Structure 1
Amino acid sequence: MSSIVVTKSPAVVVRPSETVTTAGKAILSHFDKPLITLPSTVLFVFDHPIDKPAETVRRALSQALVHYYPLAGRLAGDDDDVHINCTGEGVTFVAASANCTVKEQMIMCDHDYHKDAAMSAAGLVKELLAEGYPMKGCDRGDPLVMMQVTSFRCGGFIVGVTWNHGVADDRWRARPWAANPIRVVPVLPLQSDDQLVPPPCTFAAYQALFQFPPSHFPGSNITIPAGLIDRIRFGEPSCTLFEAVTTVLWQCRTRVVMSDPEAPAMIVFTVNSRKQMGIDDGYYGNCITLHTAIEKSGVVANACIMDLVGMIKRAKKQIPEHFKNGDNDTTMAIRDFSGGRAGSGYQNALLISCWRNISFEDVDFGSGKTAKVMTHMLRMLPECVVCMPCKLEQGAKVMSACVTAQHVDAFLQEISTV
């Protein structure tokens, strides 16, 4: 087909549909503050039409902001006292249209490069988003949420949302418009930033990840085949989908980017810790902790895949201990990793985020649930988002941005031969 063209209307400001009496400032926790400059993005793909999709979603957004009113405010304060001023200034909204069908757009986005258009897959996905935050990240005066609705010739549409990760985690994006949502009262404002404090290992993991200079990691859409996952889980029946996918990515990446078998290879994975922290289910601020497994790269590269599954399982089993006594051994191991043994390159660390079981697949604006969920990797960290919902395909969908351009082909080849 000819080049895909997305035509955008001028951005408008969407405010809460009703006057919100609760104003003042919303305090951010110690979970939130490390993330206040980081944007995050999700795109919900719908292959069934609704009437006037842009207007329908804009109206739903305005209604949602009544309950999630801090998101219509702006960041304020210095680094020690950063908070949200609940000003009601609103969020950015863009209506757009594309000269193709949703299916055609997905085919193009599932390839890193294509012959009949002068734009990469990452560029195509970026066109489905409202004008984003600058490369330096989110700033004090920026809107906390930016949304774009793109309509397609087939009647389908895509809702792209970019938001400041420091003010809300992934759950808020699905809950306001999920089909048959759990009726919970949204909760964000805290009385003190000391109400929620992550375990020491999470702070140490952030320090380890952010020690590396920012790099550009081209995005790749990867499918871990269902047959490979079944084979791993047949060998280890208690292996979860997350564990199977994570071990494949960790081993394949280590084989490609690390040459010193004695150098440490660290996998960092995110965990929703509301239960461990005793947090109400309606709380939509960040409550994600980071947990790790560290092993010599030679071991990771050459181990039986079942042994790597065991390493991930042991790391997960230790999670309750992190909340009881801080797990000094794990924290010290991460700090040792950050103290110089890892070298100055990005190769030694990989961040894994899982999008399974956070209700993205339940978003429904009236024509049925999402057909697919995507992301645009905006961060300068080596990361894979795994288990992305997709009703159209078998296997586990992964959005990878974890190797530099020189290693992309080798990484994909390694996965294909596991």
Structure 2
Amino acid sequence: MAIMAPSLTSLVFNVRRCEPELVVPAKSTPHEFKQLSDVDDRERHHVPVIMFYRYDQSLEGKDPVKVIREALAQTLVFYYPYAGRLREGPDAKFIVECTGEGVMFIEADADVTLEEFGDAPHPPFPCIDELIFEVPGSGGMANCPLLLFLVTRLRCGGFALALRYNHIMSDGMSIHQFMIAVGEMAQGASAPSIPPVWQRQLLNARNPPQVTFTHHEFDEVVESKVFASSLHDMACNCFFFGPTQISAIRKKLPHHLHNSSTFEVLTACLWRCRTIAIQLDSEDEVRLIFAINVRNKFNLPIGYYGNGIAVSLALTAAGKLCQNPLEYALELIKSAKNNVTEEYVRSLIDLLVIKGRPFLTMVHSYFVSDMTRIRFEALDFGLGKAAFGGPGKIFPEPGLDPANYYMPMKNSQGEEGIMVPMCLPTLAMERFVKELDSILGDH
């Protein structure tokens, strides 16, 4: 069975927080204005990440708050735009004023041990709002800190590191690069091993913009009345897919598709199961929208720490997806990935500018973001590797594109795999689990 037990819903503990402070670069930094790319400018929201670290007796006497605070100040010398603030420029596009004001930092102590989160801590964490504290007034776009750190010492000697970053500045891969640098500085480095590179103009629209592809991910679609009426009664679960589960899915595919990537195989399975579960009319269009890293397609320099992600999609009728075998969905996904050429991404960026930062079409859409290669749990500040590292909040929030994250995960038996959150109307969730079980068999 792939469904994971939820995190402990009854976990309650007291947290004592110090007043928020601003950590500024350890040395003076340039005061200047930096332009963001047209890809950056669409991502107008904050993203929470959390890491849990176990107590290590060999590190007795090291205070994680002091270690991370000092390393952060040193890292901001090199990544000084993070210590600045967004300002609104022409056409409501944001620019970064490098003011050196600093990033927000909070230290805290919690009356709880890491063991109370279970053998294999994983989201959803019911106490997440205690560990990722939203400082009132800090979560806006303009004139707000671009990063927020909250380091919480746990009663067992371990600690939790929560990070909230402004997506307009960086995507997950870029913030991971920054955090690697913080870890290096914490362990005595004098500079990051990968120097940061700005060069946001590389992902700007052309002049004049030229939309050369049809980008159905931004179509305007009317919500199905049947599906919309059930959204008040939602069930949210997490599913674990290890080698056994992925192998079971591959066995449902013809031999010539067995070498498909894990992402392709898993996504085809989930998209089809989900579509069967929500029971749309057969002629309704359904979309699989997925984020794709374009750094290699544009030869972005090593060290680039802006948003280097585009979106692509597979589109079909609900009836075709449900009635055809699994390989039909898989072929659509492989074709959609192959369509993401440099020209496709250029066309997409041009469309973002022409349409004024449009929202993705989420009606009848399944939107996935693969974070399995962004190993937050491997971040080491000289205090060991994390027991868990990844998105702090994994279920959709009002007003945001509801990305479904694929996260690297170890289950309670220590088996490596992928955790996938899923939110559906309650009855649809029951049908989804039944359909998934029919593919996985006894696993």
TM class by shorter chain equals 0.7 to 0.9
Using the alignment, how far apart are the partners of 2:196 and 2:142 within structure 1? 24
What's the CA shift for 1:325? 7.8
- Distance in 2 (CA, whole Å) between partners of 1:356 and 1:151 is 27
TM (norm. structure 2) is 0.76
Residue number in structure 2 paired with 1:238: 259
Counterpart of 1:360 in structure 2 is: 376
Aligned to 1:255: 276
Unaligned runs of 5+ in 2: 1-7, 186-191
- Change over 3 Å in CA distance of 1:12–1:324 after alignment to 2: closer
Q: Say whether the 8 Å CA contact 1:258–1:347 is kept in structure 2.
A: no
- From 188, 193, 215, the equivalent of 2:198 is 188
| 1:129-188 per-position Cα deviation (integer Å, ceiling 9, x unaligned) | 1316789x7331221111212222332222111111011111233224437798221012
| Residue equivalent to 1:118 | none
* Cα deviation, residue 324, structure 1: 8.2
Alignment-derived partner of residue 308 in structure 1: 329
Q: Deviations over 1:295-338 (max 9, x none)?
A: 111222233223322221121122226448849xxx9xxx9xx9
The match for 1:415 is: 436
What residue identity is the alignment partner of 1:231? A
Contact preservation (8 Å) 1:109, 1:125: no
Residues 243-392 of structure 1 aligned to structure 2 (within 5 Å): 243-320=264-341, 322-323=343-344, 326=347, 346-375=362-391, 376-377=393-394, 379=397, 380-390=400-410
TM-superposed deviation, 1:76: 0.6
Following TM superposition, by how much is the alpha carbon of 1:412 offset from its aligned partner in structure 2, in angstroms? 4.4
Cα separation, partners in 2 of 1:311 and 1:67, compared to 1, 3 Å:
same
- How far apart are 1:267 and its partner, in Å? 0.6
CA contact (8 A) 1:42 1:161 kept: yes
Rg larger for: 2
Write the deviation string for residues 250-297 of structure 1: whole angstroms up to 9, x where unpaired: 122212224211111101111111111121111101111101111111
SS in 2 for 1:66: coil
Contact 1:354 1:386 in 2 (8 A): yes
Match of 2:176 in 1: 174
Q: Distance in 2 between matches of 1:400 and 1:269?
A: 15
**Could you say if the C-alpha distance between residues 199 and 231 of structure 1 is closer, same or farther in structure 2, counting changes exceeding 3 Å?**
farther
**Does the 8 Å contact 2:379/2:386 carry over to 1?**
yes
Distance 1:6 1:296, change over 3 A: farther
Match of 1:228 in 2: 245
Residue pair 1:71, 1:145 contacting (<8 A) in 2 also? yes
**Maintained 8 Å contact 2:410/2:416:** no
Give, in angstroms, the shift of residue 7 of structure 1: 0.3
Aligned to 1:154: 156
Are the aligned partners of 1:73 and 1:144 in contact in 2 as well (CA < 8 Å)? yes
**C-alpha distance in 2, partners of 1:109/1:358?**
18
Residues 1:34 and 2:61 are matched in the alignment? no
CA change 1:292–1:96 in 2 (3 A) is same
CA distance in 2 between counterparts of 1:301 and 1:246 reads 14
> Which residue of 2 is the match for residue 62 of structure 1?
73
Provide the C-alpha distance between the structure 1 equivalents of 2:153 and 2:437, rounded to a whole number of angstroms: 35
Any unmatched runs of 5+ in structure 1? 112-120
Aligned-partner Cα distance in 2 for 1:218–1:257 = 13
8 Å CA contact 1:350–1:402 kept in 2: the answer is no
Q: Distance in 2 between matches of 1:202 and 1:154?
A: 55
Contact 1:381 1:402 in 2 (8 A): no
The one of 65, 86, 99 equivalent to 2:98 is: 86
Aligned-pair distance for 1:199?
A: 9.1
What residue in structure 2 maps to residue 115 of structure 1?
Answer: none
Larger CA deviation: 387-396 vs 276-285: 387-396
Q: Give the structure-1-normalised TM-score.
A: 0.80
Q: How far off is 1:245 after superposition? A: 2.1
> Secondary structure of 1:387's partner?
strand
C-alpha distance in 2, partners of 1:61/1:239? 41
Q: Sequence identity, in percent?
A: 24
Alignment-mate amino acid for residue 242 of structure 1 = F
Is contact 1:355–1:385 with CA below 8 Å preserved after alignment?
A: yes
Rounded to whole Å, the distance in 1 between the matches of 2:246 and 2:154 is: 34
Give the letter aligned to residue 60 of structure 1. A
Q: 1:129 aligns with which of 116, 132, 138?
A: 132
